[in-house]
Amino acid sequence: MIQWITMQDWAGVNSRGRGHNAKTLVSMEQRRDAYWRRFDEMKGRLPEALVKADSLLHDARLAEVQSNSEKQELRLLVKPCDGKAQWWVFTGVRNHRWINHRLQLPGPDGFGDMGYSEIRLTSGGFAMAILFSSGLELVVNARGFRRTHAGHGKAP
């Protein structure tokens, strides 16, 4: 679950009429900077493909979700705003869940834009949380990650 910059924070700085005061913005910047310091410390212990994928996340679109509990995989068809569609494949998935924050930002229909993510190390793997402009948050607990280009819409 997102801990450093919440959906309420994101909505406040991106929605008209919900702006934050200067003190709140400074606090958000400090928390963001603290998260990135922590991320820099742990990225050597994360799958390299996950670290690279995370950098493509902002304003990407989630087109499809496929879950296979037998294979312990979760596949996301992601369309980066400036790149080709790709499958993000989480392997060794222990669980995943959706959280509805009941806040929504302007954006495309469906899941909306992928806007912000946080990754943390867990026992035997990692957890990744992704916030969408629709107000949804996806949290995935997994052991591995890979990405492949989405050729003809078929999952890898």
pLDDT per residue as tens digits for the range 127-150: 999 988 888 899 999 999 999 988
> Where does the pLDDT of residue 45 fall: very low under 50, low under 70, confident under 90, or very high at 90 and above?
very high
Q: What is the rounded average pLDDT of the residues 31-41?
A: 93
CA dist 115 and 59 (Å) reads 6
Q: What is the rounded average pLDDT of the residues 97-112?
A: 74
27: part of which helix (H) or strand (E)? helix 22-42
Structure tokens at 103: 């806040």
Flag whether the pTM goes above 0.75: yes
